Copies of this chain bind each other. A is one copy, B any other.
């Protein structure tokens, strides 16, 4: 089933890798129960704490779940898209903050990916998703909204657009690009005027989606990207000048 040479490095990492490989390769099926910690320890010829460290590594990646009690143990976890979103967002956020990705780079990626979804969303969006888009646009038009709440609404709008493509793979891949940008977006203060322009652009996107016009939606997203980058550039320039 899986082996473990007693050479050089971290036993718990090796054991985790062996089990992970078994899961990825399909040797271990979903919901299948792994041997108990004592049995694994015996099998790999290590102590129980070492096995436990290995299992915790796998648990951190949502590959297994553990259950206490008589019929408990470690079970291969079904990795759901919904669960994976959270990790994806966390990882993407850290990647952006730790690697000094510029606003422009992140922005470019985000809108490029959204444009990939737009034609599909124009074809398949549900009435509900369209309604969400309209609701968020209305919210964004309220002047009382704080910058943070405005950004959150922006994410919700784009999330609805992406989900409208009705493709879980796309939604998953995009979760990182869209939501991870929120900290960057939060660095920007929106003036009444810039908000007005963006609400207008959002409306035109929603219109295009409603009319099933994918090409038009792509055009609007191009405009929105240009506007967003322009606003950001202005904010950064003003901030630099005031120093």
Contact = CB atoms under 8 A, between A and B. Distances in A.
Nearest to A62: B91
Interface in A57-97: 57-61, 63, 78-81, 84, 87-88, 90-97
Contacts of A174: 173
Contacts of A94: 23-24, 63, 79
B60 A79 contact: no
A109 B60 contact: no
Q: Could you say how many copies of this chain the assembly holds?
A: 2
A92 B101 CA distance: 23
Contacts of A116: 112-113, 115-116
Interface string A155-183: 00000000001011110111011000000
A220 to B, nearest CB: 15
Contacts of A84: 91, 95
A171 B203 CA distance: 30
29 contacts: A16-B60, A24-B94, A56-B60, A57-B57, A57-B59, A58-B60, A61-B87, A78-B99, A79-B98, A80-B99, A84-B95, A87-B91, A105-B168, A105-B169, A106-B169, A108-B120, A108-B167, A108-B170, A109-B167, A109-B173, A110-B169, A112-B117, A112-B120, A112-B165, A113-B116, A113-B173, A173-B174, A173-B176, A173-B177
Interface of A: 12-13, 16, 20, 23-24, 26, 30, 49, 52-54, 56-61, 63, 78-81, 84, 87-88, 90-99, 101, 105-106, 108-110, 112-113, 115-117, 120, 165, 167-170, 172-174, 176-177
